[in-house]
Amino acid sequence: MPFTDLAHHIRANVRAALDEDIGNGDLSAQLIQEHTQAHAIVITREPAVLCGTLWFEECFLTLDPDCRITWKVQEGALIEPNQTLCEVHGDARTMLSAERPALNFLQTLSAVATLTWHYVAATQGMSARIMDTRKTLPGLRMAQKHAVKVGGGNNQRMGLFDGVLIKENHIAAAGGISKVMEHAFRITPPGVPIQIEVETLEQLDEALNAGARLILLDNFSLADMHLAVTHAAKRAELEASGGITLENVRLVAGTGVDRISIGALTKDIKAIDLSMRIEFP
């Protein structure tokens, strides 16, 4: 599913979040007199890469189309503690109803973008590309992959429908690497990438001989990654995966692999600390 569908996914994400939080009505918002107008600012309490502004806006505009949001910094900007990110003007009741879902999106997606930015920064000057995975929060696949791009990373396949990844179970069921590769080449539509995961240097050799052009090195040691890069000799793109951390990612990039995939970018995140302060006339 291409990123041209992003607007559709934003609306779906926000509708689900608002339904989840508001249900058949916000009981607390009724404490505010109807038609009261309010002004709010959103600030960050820690450094981050800002991401999720479209989801944030959609939360407010869905409930109050007349709401006005003015951003002081743009999507992808580096932000500092106590910096004002945006101002919000609108109906007080709907502002309070939209606050938590909107901040949830902004905090979560900024966390993904920020962690990605740290991995990209750690490999600055190296040729290896930082890649995401399908280890995403349920329902937020496209949102989190958007955040990876905002943080300077790269997207892999969106799902099971736009790329083939041959893993251990596929190999076992097919009866070996050469057989599974032959089958994959036969049934996969033109232009769809085919990647195979290998666990040993012997399997790497089998995959290369079977015509693999995109190979994932699963939990290889640094020494074996070096050997794999030398042996492949650019016959295939090699991707390192498993056990990658901020502490060792530069060493992994130094082995000469083309890509480094990191599930932690989207599954092991800590929301950025943001706060919305509302003022009433």
179 has catalytic annotation:
no
Could you please report the per-residue DSSP string of 187-231? HSPTT--EEEEESSHHHHHHHHHTT-SEEEEET--HHHHHHHHHH
Residues 6+ apart with CB under 8 A from 45: 81, 82, 273, 274, 275
Contact of 52 with 104, CB cutoff 8 Å: no
Q: How far apart are the two ends of the chain, measured CA to CA in Å?
A: 45
Residues 6+ apart with CB under 8 A from 76: 49, 50, 51, 113, 150
Beta bridge partner(s), residue 99: none
72 has catalytic annotation:
no
Catalytic-role residue among 75, 199, 205, 218 = 218
Catalytic-role residue among 134, 141, 157, 167 = 167
218 has catalytic annotation:
yes
Catalytic-role residue among 100, 134, 235, 250 = 100
Report which of 189, 270, 177, 193 is spatially closest to residue 239, judged by C-alpha positions. 193
Structure token pair of residue 53: 């502004």
Structure-token match 């995403």, residue found: 136
Catalytic-role residue among 197, 206, 239, 258 = 197
Catalytic-role residue among 135, 149, 157, 250 = 135
162 has catalytic annotation:
no
273 has catalytic annotation:
no
DSSP for residue 154: B
Structure token pair of residue 81: 């503690």
Residues 6+ apart with CB under 8 A from 207: 177, 181, 196, 198, 215, 236
Contact of 220 with 191, CB cutoff 8 Å: no
Beta bridge partner(s), residue 238: 215
Residues with catalytic function = 100, 135, 167, 197, 218
